[in-house]
Amino acid sequence: MKKKILIGISIVVAAFIVWSLYGLFFATPASPKGTAEITSGDLSVNVTYSRPYKKGRLIFGEESAGALQPYGQYWRLGANAATEITVNKDVSFAGESVEAGTYRMYVVPGATEWEVSLNSETGVFFGAAEPNYELDVLKVKVPVQTAPELEQFTISFEPDSTGVNMNFVWDTSKVTVPITPQ
């Protein structure tokens, strides 16, 4: 009798371990890793970030309204690790000069405009922590546009006549940052 109970408990424990390991290594993460990249002429831009879902939540808005990302507060542009952007040559980033390289990219969203910043602190795994603001390379303000509702946060690129436009779209907000080779 004791042997059967031990075998039963062993099977339950083994099943739990297998289920836990499956969830750890094979289940889809809540905010999967994403990459946005473009090559236009001799300009290449690559962004690595995580892509959270809306899941019925208020995304941007006032903190008092329960917004996931309150206006006027740091946001890592995604989830999990800090968002990073790499440009292969010197560029104009929304009108401001930036040298070729890799940067941590974050924003401070607002109702009508977002402040987009590039920071020289890279390789930050847990991006929820605010950056060392003394390492900011630039800050630019770009307008917010209304977009059709989008469930999953997305960064994308589209070429234009002078370079590329980098788009941040989530919920009903869209922000476009023009990037032009120098």
Q: pLDDT tens across 81-126, in order?
A: 899 999 999 999 999 999 999 999 999 999 999 999 999 999 887 7
Sign of CA dihedral 154, 155, 157, 163: positive
Average pLDDT across the chain, whole number = 92
Could you read off the pLDDT of 61-72 as tens digits, one per residue? 999 999 999 999
The domain spans of the chain are: 1-29, 31-181
Cα separation values, 8 from 3, 18, 19, 30, 65, Å: 9, 15, 17, 33, 50
The reply to whether the predicted model has a pTM over 0.85 is no
Neighbours of 84 (CB within 10 A): 21
**In the predicted model, is pLDDT for residue 24 greater than 70?**
no
